[in-house]
Amino acid sequence: MEDAPLIQFGRAERSEPKTSHNDALVITALLANNEVECIFMDFESSVHILFGKAYDQMQLGEIPLKKLNTFPYGFTGEVVHPRGMISLPLMLGTWNAQSTCMLKLLVVDVLSAYNVIFGSPNLNVFQAVISTYHMKIKFSTPKEKFKETPSNREMLYRGCAQRTEETSNKNPKGAPSSK
């Protein structure tokens, strides 16, 4: 097995925060050939979650959902009844330097500021290294030693926050939209 490339973060790579608090790491990536914004990188989550509204807007009807016999617990301890599970390709990077892997995602109808929660299970497949200080993910690709995906702070401040307000005020079953 060949060694993974050395991936480092330098002080000069840190983008200046717009706020004094710790921001979430939120990215844009291709999920099943759909550009999806507001993907929250949650390194403590043991599952990947695709929120129902984003799933509906991706129009993946030809890919069946697998029914589940067990149900996960939500953030507040309540049992979550997902629509099902689906396997979809997630691509990080750009077409000339990208890495793709299949994700098993739970599809749930829950209010969220995000379209997807990317948990920890596939970080090793991407050979990804995350720096919340630098607000970036770096990962190896076949063509380059590494590629980076920065957190999209503008999207975090404008899009995800606005979607939270809109979904909680106007659409109790809604979730943010995907492109």
Give the per-residue SS3 of 22-42: CCCCEEEEEECCEEEEEEEEC
Taking a C-beta distance cutoff of 8 angstroms, is the pair 48, 119 a contact?
Answer: yes
For all residues of the chain together, what is the average pLDDT? 78
Q: Give the pLDDT of residue 179.
A: 41
Output 6 or 162, whichever has higher pLDDT: 6
Distance CA 96, CA 118 (A): 23
Q: Which tokens is 105 given? A: 């995602």
pLDDT in tens, 54-68: 999 999 988 899 998
Report residue 71: phi and psi, to 5°.
-125, 135
Confidence of residue 154 (pLDDT cuts 50, 70, 90): low
Confidence of residue 163 (pLDDT cuts 50, 70, 90): low
Distance CA 52, CA 67 (A): 15
Q: Give the pLDDT of residue 115.
A: 94
Distance CA 135, CA 43 (A): 13
Say whether pLDDT at 177 is over 50.
no
Side chain identity at 23, as an amino acid letter? Answer: D
% of residues, the chain, pLDDT over 90: 27
Output 137 or 13, whichever has higher pLDDT: 137
Q: Give the pLDDT of residue 2.
A: 59
Give the list of residues 6+ apart from residue 35 with CB closer than 8 angstroms, or none. Answer: 28, 29, 178, 179
Compute the radius of gyration of the chain from its Cα atoms. Answer: 17
The vertex-135 CA angle with 120 and 3, nearest 5°, equals 55
Domains along the sequence of the chain with CATH: 22-170 (2.40.70.10)
Q: Give the pLDDT of residue 172.
A: 35
